[in-house]
Copies of this chain bind each other. A is one copy, B any other.
Amino acid sequence: MKTYSALAHPNIAFIKYWGNRDQALRLPVNGSISMNLGALETRTSVTLPESAPADHLVINDDEQSGASLARVSAFLDIVRQLSGQKAYAEVISRNNFPSSAGVASSAAAFAALALAASRAFGLALSEKDLSRLARRGSGSACRSIPAGFCEWLSGAGDEDSYAQSFAAPDHWELWDCVAIVEAAPKSTGSTEGHALASTSPLQAARVADAPRRLQLCREAVLARDFEKLADVIEQDSNMMHAVMQTSTPPLMYWSPASLLLMSEVTALRRRGLAAAYTLDAGPNVHVICTAGSHEAVKRHLEGLPGVSWVLVSPVGGCARLLGAN
């Protein structure tokens, strides 16, 4: 009875994923681009104990049940089906960042689980197939399988909807300074949020325009053109929040502190500091910086009202196996 352990990083999307064309398969309505966050990681181990009566899940030392366990079991069912094995699994997972960080942990969690579980069940999947598998657990998890700067190709179906790296971690030394804001309002989870995307009268236009933004973002990363990157990621973030804010019911993830930070970041950039904001389905503000700007940006953000603390991360590598013993 072997235990397989794997590590994966969360990622921050530059071009956002919002809305599925197939909710069950998590096939997105548009492609997306992200950067892995190397300082943050989830480590997950999977064992298949003999004659275990059910799947067993522990996250950060807390025994899980209910929706959390059900979601992992449903994911393990896919692995069981792929491998032809029926064993139940013991899954132990730990993040090196507090859940109060408000950084979406499901991407790293399902990327690490896809790798550890596929090995425990005897599968040796290609990076592409691992990415496809991780996608089934949480859409953005597919982007936490390859290294560095990744693009999730929306694809025609399950077979070709996966992420691939288009620039290695050392291609460009970018940093993410995540400003964690106080008193985050209770928000709608992103799985439920994705289902509302199509109710916004603006979603179709956001999706139709995605190829333009993807191309600009790809070009900006490849050319290390920060101004170009800043313009497209801020516009893309605003476009996703525009869809959220105009869906039925509307989803307002921005808090007053988020808005203050957004305006501070654009002001910093006008003063010559390389900084650009992007926000996921929550009020924290991810400030993308260059190697030359991230320390000054971090200090500035820490001094702003409403900011609890600032978490800093460079670009991260791919999901990887830590051991089998």
Contact among B202, B255, B258 with A205 in the assembled complex (CB-CB below 8 Å): B202
Interface residues of A in 11-58 (CB under 8 A from B): none
Query: Is A239 on the interface with B (CB-CB < 8 A)?
Result: yes
Which B residues lie within 8 Å of A257 (CB)? 256
CB nearest neighbor in B for A201: B209
Residue among A206, A246, A263 with the highest chain B CB neighbour number at 10 A: A246
Cα-based distance from A89 to B39 in the complex (angstroms): 70
- Judge whether B238 and A245 touch: CB under 8 Å: yes
CB nearest neighbor in B for A306: B256
Classify the interface of chain A: helix, strand, loop or mixed: helix
Cα-based distance from A302 to B174 in the complex (angstroms): 44
Contact among B185, B208, B245 with A242 in the assembled complex (CB-CB below 8 Å): B245
Knowing A201-B206, A205-B202, A209-B201 are in contact, say whether A250-B263 is a contact too (CB < 8 A). no
- Judge whether B252 and A185 touch: CB under 8 Å: no
- Judge whether B250 and A259 touch: CB under 8 Å: no
Which B residues lie within 8 Å of A241 (CB)? 245
Which B residues lie within 8 Å of A254 (CB)? 259
**Closest CB of chain B to A233's CB: distance in Å?**
12
Query: Is A262 on the interface with B (CB-CB < 8 A)?
Result: yes
Extra contacts besides A231-B248, A258-B259 (17): CB < 8 Å: A185-B263, A201-B205, A201-B206, A201-B209, A201-B239, A202-B202, A204-B205, A234-B250, A235-B246, A238-B250, A242-B242, A242-B243, A242-B246, A252-B259, A255-B259, A256-B259, A259-B259
Can you show 29 pairs from A to B with CB atoms below 8 A apart? A185-B263, A201-B206, A201-B208, A201-B209, A201-B212, A201-B239, A202-B205, A202-B206, A202-B239, A202-B242, A204-B205, A234-B250, A235-B250, A238-B245, A238-B250, A239-B242, A239-B246, A241-B245, A242-B243, A242-B245, A242-B246, A252-B259, A252-B262, A252-B263, A255-B259, A256-B256, A256-B259, A256-B260, A259-B259
- A: residues with CB less than 8 A from B are 185, 201-202, 204-206, 208-209, 212, 231, 234-235, 238-239, 241-243, 245-246, 248, 250, 252, 254-260, 262-263
